[in-house]
Amino acid sequence: MMSIWIAKFLGPVMLAVSIPMMVTPATLQQTTRRFLADRPLLLVAGILAMTAGLSIVNTHNVWVRDWTVIVTLFGWAMVLGGAFRIIAPDVAERAGTAMMGPPTLMRAFGVGWAVLGAYLTSKGYG
């Protein structure tokens, strides 16, 4: 099943990203600010995110009332986020900077990412 295959990728990546969000949020925020200010990097990241998102959406555009809709939502978020970075990098930079908030907020989001990543990992490998 395609949902399981994609969950095997998304879950572990989300878990890995959640660790610096929870452990070193200020460092991650500093890195994110530098990333957002680097236009060539923002463009490449947009292209990669949009490509990955389209890969998911084109193979898994499933709108059902179970866990597999999480995969579809991530695919669409990646398509939209990637397109946004490509088309409107100034707006993407401002929006990204505004969304960072204090380190405690980053930690809270890290917990959310860890829970969701663990859930997807369990669905993929469980």
For 113, the token pair is: 């990412």
Listed range (52-56, 96-100, 121-125) with the worst mean pLDDT? 96-100
Can you give the residue ranges of every domain in the chain? 2-125
pLDDT the model gives residue 1: 84
Buried/exposed 100-110: b ≥16 CB within 10 Å, e otherwise: beeeeebbebb
pLDDT above 90 for 97: no
Q: What confidence tier does 67 reach under pLDDT thresholds 50, 70, 90? A: very high
